[in-house]
Amino acid sequence: MAKEEGIVLRTGAGTAWVKTTKSDACDSCEAKDACSMLGGGKDSEIEAINKIGAEADDMVVIGFESSSLFKASFLLYILPIVFMIAGALTGQKFSLKYGVDETLFSAGA
């Protein structure tokens, strides 16, 4: 489980908005500048479930399953490549069926 420390900014309806600062683990990550999980800047605001009843200005530790990060990485990086390959193969099949240059169908033109 990944953990981050932060300060509660505001609360409401069972949630708390927490301001976090990227940790040392983020500094060593190659994708830190493009990371959509924690934003591009140094600080982030995250809405978290407030199970402990934290109030504004409380220091808290929030955690999330590492599998969530892996799923998000898959959706952002791997899935588009899979769809691109599937589109190219589909375009090639249609080009053979309709007798058109396969580059046009594969490129989506």
- What's the domain range around 6? 1-64
Euclidean distance between CA atoms 81 and 109, whole angstroms: 18
pLDDT of residue 108: 57
Q: Is the pLDDT of residue 69 over 80?
A: no
Euclidean distance between CA atoms 49 and 94, whole angstroms: 49
Which secondary-structure segment (H or E) carries 43?
A: strand 43-49
Backbone angles phi, psi at 16, to 5 degrees: -135, 135
Number of compact structural domains in the chain:
2
Cβ atoms 73, 66 nearer than 8 A: no
Instruction: Judge if 53 and 90 occupy the same domain.
Output: no
Percent of the chain with pLDDT over 70: 74
**Residues 12-39: pLDDT tens digits?**
999 999 998 766 666 666 555 555 554 4
Instruction: Judge if 7 and 40 occupy the same domain.
Output: yes
pLDDT of residue 64: 73
This prediction has a pTM of: 0.52
Q: Which of 4-18, 26-40, 86-100 has the lowest mean pLDDT?
A: 26-40
Phi-psi region of 12 (alpha: psi -120 to 50; beta: other; left: phi over 0): left
